[in-house]
Structure formats: C-alpha cells, structure tokens
Chain A
Amino acid sequence: MRIGIDVGGTNTDAVLINKNTIIKTFKTNTSKDITSSVSSCIKELIKNQEKQNIDSIIIGTTHLINDLIQRKNLAKTAIIRLCGPSTRLLKPLSDWPLDIVDKNLFSSHFVSGGLEFDGREISSISKLEIQKLCDKFKSEKIESIAVNGVFASVNPYQEIETKKIIQQEMGNIPISLSHQIGRIGLLERENATILNSMLIKSAQSTFANLNNIIKELKLNSKIYITQNDGTMSSIEDALKYPVFSLSSGPTNSMRGASYLSGIKNGLVIDIGGTSTDIGMLINSFPKESSIAVDFSGIRTNFRMADVLSIPLGGGTIINKQKPYLNELSVGNEITSKSLSFGGDITTITDIFAAESKTSFSLPNKNIIIKKLLSNNVKQEIKSKISLAIDKMKTSADTIDAIVVGGGAFIMPEDIDGLNLIKIAKHSEVANAIGSALAQVSGYSEKVYSTHNMTREEILNASKHDAINNAINKGADKRTIEIIDVEEIPLSYLPSNAITVKTKVVGNINNN
C-alpha cells in the first residue's frame, strides 16, 4: 500500500491507496512546519492497518515554489562561472526579475576555466583565484554556492575540482554543480543551478525532518518526494537537488484528476485555497511546455507540465469595491480569519457559504452577504477563469474539463466551450492521489564508440539500459516510455565517441 500526501499552502491532503484502489482519504490544515501535518495525516491513514503493509509514502509540496514566489527562506548564494575570457557580456542573473536581483542575495563571479565544445580547455582553473573568492564569500556570509562551467556537460572535471577546492576552504557549504542540474545551454543551466543553490535552505526546512516521522511511527516505509516531471526522488536527493522538486503540484493534480474522472484528454482546473492551476491532459499525462520554463520569471530548460496559475481560490480576499477579487488569499489562516470561521475577513468561501454552496460545513453558519456583492464576485470569478482557460485551450472546440481541488465549489458552470466533468468522490484529494501515482524514472548516461556500433544500436543499448534502471527501481515494464534522448558527440576523443543520455519513466509496479 502507498500513501500519497499533498502539502499545499492552505491544506494538506492525504490518501491511502492499495494497488489502484482508494482505501481512505484525510485532509487537514497545513502546519507552519510541514512535518506535523504530514505526521498527523499518516497517523490517521494507518489506523487499523498493518504497519508493514505501507511500502512507500510519497509527498508533494508547494513549499519551495511558495518560498521562491514570496522571496523568503532563500540562501545567500555565490555564483562562480568557469569561463575564462568567454561569455562575459551576459552576466549571471541576466533577464532575472529585478526584485530578486536587487535583494542583495547574490555574489557573482567570472573565473578562469571553461571548456571548448570539443573538450579543450578555454583556460584551466586557478586554485588561488577560487581560494581568494572563498575568503570573500566567508566575509559576505554566503550560504550556498553555484558552479557553472562552460561546456561542463561535455566534461565535468573542472566543476568537480572547483568543488573540492571550495570544500577545503569552506567545509560543508552546499555546492551545486551545473552538470548535475541541466543540459547544454549556458544561461538556462546556470539559472537552474542558481535556483537550486538558493532553495537549499527552503528544502532543508521542508524535507529534513520528514524521516523522523518514520522513526517516530515505527514504520518500515520509504519516504519519497515528487518532482517537477511527475517522477519521485529520495529525501536525500530532494535535499541536494531541490530545484527538481520545485513545482510538482500541477503534474500531481492533473494525474490525480485523470485517475478520478477516467478522462484522458481535456482541461484540468485545480482550484485551491490560494490559486487556480489550469493545464491540458494528453493521454492521461500533462502537456509539457516545449521550450523554456519560467519559475517565477526565471528561465530554465526543464521538462515539466505547462500550467497556467492565477491567484484565485477559496481563500481569496474580497474587496469592498471593484475589483472585488483581491490578489491575496488568507491562505492557511482561513480557519481563523474568514467570516465562516468567526474571523473578520470576507473571502470567496464566505460568499458561497452564505448560500450553503460550499462542499463542507463551516462553524459560523449565519453569514449574510448582500446579493449584489455576491453576484459581482461571481461575475469576476467567471471572467478571470474564462480568460485563463482561453489561454490554455489549444482550439476553440468544446472540450472536457475536470474541476478538482478544495475550492472546486467556486467554479462557474456556464463557461462556453467547456463540457464540465463532475467528480463524484475524492476530488478534494486529487493532488494527493497524483503524488501516490508518481512515476519511477530510469536513466542511462554512457559513452559509446561509433567505431563498431551503428547509431541505431547505440540508441537501443542506451534505451535498454535506462529501462532496466527503471525496472530495478520498481517500475512496471509495460508502462515504461522514453521521454528524453540526448546525444553529445565527444569530438575530443579519437575514436568517434558519443555520450548518450536516455531518460524513461513508468508507473510503480503494483505486484
């Protein structure tokens, strides 16, 4: 059996799944430290269950992206580009949102190093130069370091050597190396590496204590964290590579919605307490964004779901005049601040509660909202959601739309071009179901000689290697598909060698 947990900004949802059947669901408010809400979910779900039957606990969270959006809990980061005289016109953080660049969070440096496309050195790295930088970083109180070498994907030795030098000077400081984060494309890879470095602190506070829950509850299960691309990683890896788990929520909710509705192609509209995410399902999987992915205005080249997020949810605050919908939500304070819970802030939930249209019962049942205000708010919700849907739809034809999330009750029913699919049960835990259904990935990266193998043979060998890797990690062979193949010719080696990187994913094997 598996437990899937989704830790949102407002609620934490959880589900216990046996093979593909939902056994039990549970929902609670998100605590300040996510550990206690995760722990109470697990305790609730494993009541009356044999502890040894729980194989894995898979957790998805929006904490990292929320920290990034709110610019909080970010590590003070140094950026070292190993480039020698090359690439210096465009400095690190080029094209980043100014509010984050101006935060005095960064210390960027060009140093000697870098490779040509064929592996020759642009220049060698200088131990002395890096040591001097480390002294500077100590006085600047740098907390995390990103190292990006030109053509490090062709050969990573300069980045690895730089890490050793830094460790000698600065001990255990977290260091992110670009060749472990991204592919060829200097700026996008550098951006992802910097993001990874910045998020180390946020990841530490989010993930580090989760393993204690297992000990405390005396479970034998393993805990996993869901990643941007719908696969999962160990906690150890999530602490080292938080950028890969920066935004798994959209993929999880879309896969959960597909599972609950049985719909394979259509729109998924996930309405939460703080935001509404809209994405397209194609054959039960989220449509991926094809070129660059922006994280809060920062460009990277990750593979992930193409989702439009707008600030609209059950906790959205109502203004006294036009526009009636505030950009802000009361978030996880809904249970103390909103009218329905005895507070003094009017939220969208209160508007619907006054007409008894929420999907759950609330403590304060005697809310009176003027009909005019209520109509105006509903009108604004409709135009906001319609606009967002239009941006995501690929054609003008009528398509199926699955509405999920704790705020689903605010969805207007009369939007043109949509065939609304109601989910009878469990829609409020769609994200948690998506977490529980997280896929297993398999990866292969090897150097092949084109001397005695054809290109087709090489690609096949790499494919089989990646598939075996996925099966060893618990993937169901029948569901495995190839999602990425990258060939890098290593013209610096004499024997016509190429590196082939293949990534595959598959569903967890239930047997």
Chain B
Amino acid sequence: MGAGILGTGGGGNPYIGKLRAQEIVRQYGNIKVVQPNQLKDDDLVICLGGIGAPTVGVEKVRGDESARALNELENYLGKKATAVISGEIGGSNSLEPIIAAGKNNIPMIDGDGMGRAFPEIHMKTFFIYGVSWTPAVVCDEKGNTALFTKALSAHWLEKMARAVTIQMGCAAVFATAPMNGNEVKNTAIHGTLTLAKNVGEAVQNAQNNKTDPVNNILEAYPGKLLFEGKISDLARSTTDGFARGHVLIEGSNQYKKHTLKIEFQNENLIAYIDNKIVCMVPDLICIIDSETGDPITTELLRYGFRVSVLALPAPENLCTQKALEVVGPKGFGYDFEYEYLLNIPRK
C-alpha cells in the first residue's frame, strides 16, 4: 500500500503486485533484504522492473518473467547476480525484484532508482549519476527476449525498449543497470523499501484506529494536503505505450468551488488549482481515497470517487540540476523550469 502511494498514480497496481509477491513467497519462502551500505565492491546487483502501461498490467497480469529477464542478463554477463534492486519503489514495480529474488534465492536491496515512480527508464538515478544502462533485456510472458548491447543514451534505450514492449503487448519486464556494490551505494535512493513499508503501515493504522489517513501518511512522509473533492472528469488514452491524460477533481469542504486538475503520463506530473500550478514533478502528487487512504492509481481512477490529493517533496537526489534536466517538467515536454512550491522544508 505504501508503494502504491509513492507510485503517484503509476508503477502498476499494488494489489496485483502484492498477490504476485505473496505467491512467490508461498512457493520459494521469505526474501532477505539488505541495505546498500552492506554491499561489497565485487557484488553484482541488477535492476528489475515492469515496463509498459499500468492500464494493461491490471488486465494482462504479469507472471514470473522477471526471473527469466534476470537469467538472460546473467547469461550475457557470464556472472551470477548477488542481489536485485527495484528500479522504482512506486507501485507494483517495487515488488518486481521479489519474483526474481525468490526464484533465484538472492537478496533484495532496501533502496531504488526513483524514490517514487516515473514513466521512463532513463529517469532512474542510477543513470542520471553515471551507471551504464546496457546491457539490458526486455522479456515478455510469451517467451520473447530482446537483448540491448549498446544504446547511445539511457533515453535511446528507453525508446528502443518501449518499441519492443508495445509489440510484446505493453506489459513486459526489464532488467538493466548491472552495478557493483559501490555504484549502488553512490547512485541509489537508500531506504525506500522501508519508507514504503512505513507509509503503508501509517495507512493501515489509520484504517484500524479510524483516524485520518492523511495525517498518518504525512507523519510517515512529511508533505502537504493539496486538495479534497470528487472526480468530475477523466480523459485517458493509451498512446505510444503510455497511459496519458488528465483528471479533474471538483473541490469539497474548504476546497469547494475550486477545481484541481492533474495531468499524468502513467504517473501524476503537474497539479493545478483553478489553472494555477501548485505542485510539479519530481515532487510527488498522490491521489488517495479520502476516507480509507488507499492509493488510487491512474488505471483505477473513476468518475465520482471521493479523493484527497497529497503533495510530498521529492528526495534530494532527484532535485539536483543534473537530475531536474531529466525528471523535472522539461523532461516531460513542459516548457517551464522546476520550482519547489510546497513551502515546507525538504527532508
């Protein structure tokens, strides 16, 4: 559930991710989690995640493809991975490495490459801070594998992998960024598996004790309540392998007579209240069920839902000049610069 909230609308359906992880744990036993600082220089860590449109992932539910993706990359490298790491902590992608970790009996790292969810491969901190994106493989559930040995940039890899993914049916898995222990320590966002767990527990506590989930979440991850209201319009299409569109929320309580608009590309990117920008990527824009605190992902958005919208400041290493070129508004085709609008201290 915490991963669902950090998913900012994308990253796939956390419920399905949970069921898949439970099934793997049932078949192969518990999975060990290690901290990035415990890694040694000669460790080989491989990054795993789903690739495709989340609207497809709830229908063409993934299987154990990520274990095959890991094995294919190991075969090419001629070396066995000693641990796996999530490319993004948001949504079911956070649990994708569990599938491979379970089947191969290796640990998973407490950390990831995004601290949230982003739609594209080159937006991982590994690549922003210098890790090589190739070799990489994309596998589908039918048994197809594509191996990428060279790409001019992570963005090129993204474009090629995306083209392959569309042909594979828009719900595939991806293994990339073979790293040694040092590279993981220096480029990953640390502790995010634990953070997701804490946010999830905060929501569960609110549900059990009938307290306000918003307050609990903001205690686990300091941020700000942006808006409350009812979904009044929804435009969504699957183009170029992404779920793109916008959602309009009609305000209620102290937000009455105001409208919040969120534009998304798999993940929520920009939030406007009455056409004025109030939060922008890479800061996290999270839509939750007003009452239960359950995250509502892009593919679950529906007319009439009563929702609260939270804004959470992005981790520091997504906000450096270098990172903002990739994961700031300009990285998503907007023509304005990133501005931090949350008037609260960044942790």
Contact = CB atoms under 8 A, between A and B. Distances in A.
Interface of A: 84-90, 94-95, 114, 116-118, 120, 122, 150-151, 153, 184-187, 288, 290-292, 390-391, 394, 455, 482-485, 487, 489, 491, 498
B142 A117 contact: no
Nearest to A485: B303
B210 interface: yes
Interface string B274-303: 000000000000000101101010011011
Interface stretch (B51-59, B180-188, B315-323, B339-347): B51-59
A267 to B, nearest CB: 14
Contacts of B294: 290-291
B61 interface: yes
25 contacts: A86-B60, A86-B61, A86-B63, A86-B142, A89-B23, A90-B61, A95-B19, A116-B169, A117-B56, A117-B170, A122-B60, A122-B142, A122-B169, A150-B59, A184-B59, A184-B299, A186-B61, A187-B16, A187-B61, A290-B291, A291-B292, A291-B294, A483-B303, A485-B234, A491-B239
Contact of A185 (B59, B63, B292): B59
**Top 3 A-B residue pairs of the complex, sorted by shortest distance between their CB atoms:** A89-B63, A116-B169, A87-B61
A79 B237 CA distance: 31
Interface in B8-58: 15-16, 19-20, 23, 53, 55-56, 58
Contact of B303 (A116, A118, A153, A484): A484
A117 B59 contact: yes
Contacts of A89: 20, 23, 61-64
A484 B61 contact: no
Contact of A288 (B16, B56, B304): B304
B231 to A, nearest CB: 10
B74 interface: no
Given A290-B289, A484-B303, A85 B238 contact: no
B60 A394 contact: no
Contacts of B16: 90, 187
A455 B235 contact: yes
A120 B142 CA distance: 14
B58 A184 contact: yes
Contacts of B58: 184-186
A424 to B, nearest CB: 33
A488 B16 CA distance: 21
Interface residues of B, number: 39
Given A89-B62, A290-B289, A184 B235 contact: no
A116 B170 contact: yes
B141 interface: yes
Contacts of A88: 63, 141
Interface of B: 15-16, 19-20, 23, 53, 55-56, 58-64, 141-143, 169-170, 210, 234-239, 289, 291-292, 294, 296, 299-300, 302-306
Contacts of B235: 455, 487
B142 to A, nearest CB: 5
Contact of B60 (A94, A116, A153): A116
Contacts of A122: 60, 142, 169
A502 to B, nearest CB: 10
A94 B59 contact: no
Contacts of B237: 487, 489, 498
Output the residue of B55, B61, B143, B235 with the most chain A CB within 10 A: B61
B306 A290 contact: yes
Contacts of A151: 59-60
Given A186-B58, A187-B16, A394-B291, A291 B300 contact: yes
B304 A117 contact: no
Given A84-B142, A86-B63, A90-B19, 18 more contacts: A86-B61, A86-B169, A90-B23, A95-B19, A116-B170, A117-B60, A122-B142, A150-B59, A151-B59, A151-B60, A185-B58, A185-B59, A186-B58, A187-B61, A290-B305, A391-B210, A485-B234, A487-B237
Contact of B141 (A86, A94, A184, A291): A86
Output the residue of A117, A150, A185 with the most chain B CB within 10 A: A117
A99 B140 CA distance: 35
Contacts of B302: 290, 484
A291 B289 contact: yes
A186 B142 contact: no
Nearest to B65: A89
Nearest to B13: A185
Nearest to A482: B303
Contacts of B234: 485
Nearest to A150: B60
A117 B303 contact: no
Nearest to A387: B210
A120 B64 contact: no
A8 to B, nearest CB: 29
A487 B53 contact: no
A187 B304 CA distance: 23
Contacts of B53: 117
Contacts of B300: 291
A251 to B, nearest CB: 15
B215 to A, nearest CB: 13
A87 B141 contact: yes
A153 B234 CA distance: 19
Nearest to A390: B210
Contact of B59 (A90, A95, A186, A487): A186
A186 B56 CA distance: 10
B205 to A, nearest CB: 15
B289 A489 contact: no
A246 B28 CA distance: 38
Contacts of B63: 86-90
Contacts of B19: 90, 94-95, 187
A108 B301 CA distance: 31
A389 to B, nearest CB: 10
A78 B237 CA distance: 35
Nearest to B231: A290
Contacts of A483: 303-304
B270 to A, nearest CB: 20
A511 to B, nearest CB: 29
B197 to A, nearest CB: 20
B235 to A, nearest CB: 6
Nearest to A116: B169
Nearest to B307: A290
A136 to B, nearest CB: 24
